A and B are shown apart, each in its own frame.
Chain A
Amino acid sequence: MITIENLTFWYSKQNRIFEDLNLELDAGHIYGLLGKNGAGKTTFLKLICGLSFPKSGEIIIDGLIPQKRKPVFLSDIFFVPEEISFPSMTAVKFVKIYGGFYPAFDPSLFRGFLEKFEVDPDQNFSGMSHGQKKKAMIAFALATNTRYLFLDEPTYGLDIPSKAAFRSMLSASFSGEKTIIMSTHMVRDLESLIDNVIILENHKIILNQSLDKVAQKFTFCHSLLSPSSGEIFYSVNSEMGQTVISLNHSGIAGNVDLETLFNACIDIPEKISSIFEN
């Protein structure tokens, strides 16, 4: 379980990234971390894996403080950054060196993931494209079998078949004791994976809800014609006419359009919060 209490963080005092942030994340979920550029998605991931330290407040993951970077903590987390950089060696060599640090690392799983991603394990990383490196890193991250997996823009740079392969691999390797947090701009890529959504805006978390709950509260539809204004909770123009969020009175949960939800949270954060508070 990840507990964040009164977290404040800044790079410069004039420009605070987080202020008194409170959050609890339970195991067994895949969290989608959304926010505009500069909202602090990468910083948030850096803070919870111990690469940056809070200015005040604390982060506790299963009773451990990330910034202490104890081996017992580090062997249970893996962070995949947006920009991947490998030492100059092959994937096979990399696994021999780095796999030993992770107690639950499974080399056969790694080889299987590389195969699905169509990455040659005997090719040197220095000759690989950004996308191939990213696939190798994702394969390694999944093969470590750590309970906490933090991915920063995991689908950025992946080709279309690889995105599908990534989704199937992630859902196959996910289990009830694991927690996955993924930051992304490309919500459509990960819509089917995420079961909880966290939206960051103005130093705060403006939404932290399960998609089930969002679907119970709202219905999302695309309409060529403007629906009657009484039913509209929020609407935004799209290439298909209008995308509309309306309150769900039926109680039947439908699909959630993450992009529209995100836009609504940015435009009318108080209204959205009030719905969930009620």
Chain B
Amino acid sequence: MNNSFNINRFWLLVGRQWSENKKSYLFLWIVISLSLMIFSVFSEQIGLELFILLFCFGGCVVITTVFSSWPDFGRSSLYLLLPASLTEKFLCGLFYGIILFIPVYCLTYFFITYIFTYLVILLFPNNLISFSEVITDGINKFTFLPFSFYIAVFLAFLFMQSLYMIIIIRFKKRQILIFLLTILAILVLYNFGMNILMSNIVHAPKGHIRTPGPLLTFITADFGYIKSIYNPADFESFSFIKLIWKLNDLIWFIVFCMLYLTAWFKFKEREL
């Protein structure tokens, strides 16, 4: 018997996960869709902030359905003693949390933001916009954003999900509170560290506002290059070269992969 990875056992786990949680997934999909619908109806444009927020939230919820039944001894003992390797169980979580969730979420976002909005516009008799225009506009908006933006969003997602995964595997109770406090602590430490770094090493050219600002603005600026998206000149004037930015992404990617690895070790050490 293969004790590391067996594709049949993996698909059995995937099937089991779907059978037990399909209602939760449907509910999550409805919550995300409704949130996007409400914002698309009442707001002129769904903000990228909402896209990122729901993206990370959904990713964490999907992971919760896989790894968080520890207080229920009966369910968790059944799961931990299921004849499949830890790697298979862990990969099943990643299959739902990353491989399935990301395309489903992106398609939902695209559908709600553009197609649903178009259907709403159709209700008004004087609309002059054609369906192809709406779709082209949507695709243009997606392609307008630089690739670095998507990388940054993906990295933020990986960070949130891997950290959340560690917390829900490690702790039996108050997982969400611990997660929020951990995120807050990391942001404060990161902001503090970058403040020191920016004020001592990096000198922004005169007239630019790249010096550390409010906590979240600064963090998104560093993770997502928000300022550089809206004002590319600002990016150019910064003293880091592009290669370093790419290296920065690579380092974060490795760090987040390490966090997933930590989650795997925590799962391996999970006792009841």
Identify the A interface with B (CB < 8 A).
46, 49-53, 69-72, 74-75, 77-79, 81, 83-89, 93, 97-98, 100-102
Q: A51-B81, A102-B83 are in contact. Are A85 and B12 (CB under 8 A)?
A: no
Please indicate the chain A residues that have their CB under 8 angstroms from the CB of B141 in the complex: none
Number of A-B contacts (CB under 8 A): 74
Kindly provide the distance from the CB of B4 to the nearest chain A CB, expressed in whole angstroms. 9
Residues A51 and B77 in contact, CB atoms below 8 Å apart = yes
Please indicate the chain B residues that have their CB under 8 angstroms from the CB of A100 in the complex: 12
Please indicate the chain B residues that have their CB under 8 angstroms from the CB of A102 in the complex: 83
Residues A101 and B77 in contact, CB atoms below 8 Å apart = no
Q: How far is the CA of A98 from the CA of B84 in the complex (A)?
A: 11
Q: A53-B271, A93-B19 are in contact. Are A98 and B73 (CB under 8 A)?
A: no
Residues B85 and A79 in contact, CB atoms below 8 Å apart = no
| 28 A-B pairs in the complex with CB atoms less than 8 angstroms apart | A51-B271, A52-B271, A52-B272, A53-B271, A69-B80, A69-B81, A69-B86, A70-B3, A71-B1, A71-B6, A71-B85, A74-B81, A74-B82, A81-B77, A83-B73, A83-B74, A84-B74, A86-B74, A86-B75, A87-B75, A93-B19, A97-B16, A97-B19, A98-B78, A101-B9, A101-B82, A101-B83, A102-B83
Residues B80 and A51 in contact, CB atoms below 8 Å apart = yes
Residues A79 and B77 in contact, CB atoms below 8 Å apart = yes
Residues B83 and A89 in contact, CB atoms below 8 Å apart = no
Which of B15, B19, B74 interacts with A89 by CB under 8 Å? B19
Please indicate the chain A residues that have their CB under 8 angstroms from the CB of B75 in the complex: 85-87
Residues B1 and A75 in contact, CB atoms below 8 Å apart = yes
Q: How far is the CA of A78 from the CA of B19 in the complex (A)?
A: 22
Identify the B interface with A (CB < 8 A).
1-3, 6, 9, 12, 15-16, 19-20, 72-75, 77-78, 80-86, 269, 271-272
Residues B81 and A50 in contact, CB atoms below 8 Å apart = yes
Which of B6, B81, B86 interacts with A77 by CB under 8 Å? B81
Q: How far is the CA of A51 from the CA of B9 in the complex (A)?
A: 20
Residues B85 and A97 in contact, CB atoms below 8 Å apart = no
Q: A81-B73, A85-B73 are in contact. Are A46 and B272 (CB under 8 A)?
A: yes
Residues A87 and B20 in contact, CB atoms below 8 Å apart = yes
Q: A52-B271, A97-B19 are in contact. Are A70 and B85 (CB under 8 A)?
A: yes
Q: How far is the CA of A246 from the CA of B19 in the complex (A)?
A: 58
Please indicate the chain B residues that have their CB under 8 angstroms from the CB of A93 in the complex: 19
Please indicate the chain A residues that have their CB under 8 angstroms from the CB of B80 in the complex: 50-51, 69
Q: How far is the CA of A77 from the CA of B82 in the complex (A)?
A: 10
Residues A98 and B81 in contact, CB atoms below 8 Å apart = no
Q: A53-B271, A72-B1, A74-B82 are in contact. Are A97 and B74 (CB under 8 A)?
A: no
Q: How far is the CA of A105 from the CA of B68 in the complex (A)?
A: 28
Supply 14 further A-B pairs (C-beta < 8 A) apart from A69-B86, A87-B75, A88-B20.
A50-B80, A51-B271, A53-B271, A70-B3, A71-B83, A74-B82, A75-B83, A78-B81, A79-B77, A87-B20, A89-B19, A93-B19, A98-B82, A101-B12
Q: How far is the CA of A86 from the CA of B75 in the complex (A)?
A: 6
Residues B272 and A72 in contact, CB atoms below 8 Å apart = no
Name the residue in A50, A51, A69 with the highest tally of chain B Cβ atoms < 10 Å from its Cβ: A69
Name the residue in B9, B15, B80, B83 with the highest tally of chain A Cβ atoms < 10 Å from its Cβ: B83
Residues A71 and B9 in contact, CB atoms below 8 Å apart = yes
Please indicate the chain B residues that have their CB under 8 angstroms from the CB of A71 in the complex: 1-3, 6, 9, 83-85
Please indicate the chain B residues that have their CB under 8 angstroms from the CB of A50 in the complex: 80-81
Q: How far is the CA of A254 from the CA of B26 in the complex (A)?
A: 62
Please indicate the chain B residues that have their CB under 8 angstroms from the CB of A87 in the complex: 19-20, 75
Please indicate the chain B residues that have their CB under 8 angstroms from the CB of A101 in the complex: 9, 12, 82-84
Please indicate the chain B residues that have their CB under 8 angstroms from the CB of A75 in the complex: 1, 83
Kindly provide the distance from the CB of B64 to the nearest chain A CB, expressed in whole angstroms. 15
Please indicate the chain A residues that have their CB under 8 angstroms from the CB of B9 in the complex: 71, 101
Q: How far is the CA of A8 from the CA of B73 in the complex (A)?
A: 23
Kindly provide the distance from the CB of B171 to the nearest chain A CB, expressed in whole angstroms. 16
- For residue A66, which residue of chain B has the nearest CB? B81
Kindly provide the distance from the CB of A166 to the nearest chain B CB, expressed in whole angstroms. 18
Q: How far is the CA of A69 from the CA of B78 in the complex (A)?
A: 13
Name the residue in B15, B72, B80 with the highest tally of chain A Cβ atoms < 10 Å from its Cβ: B80
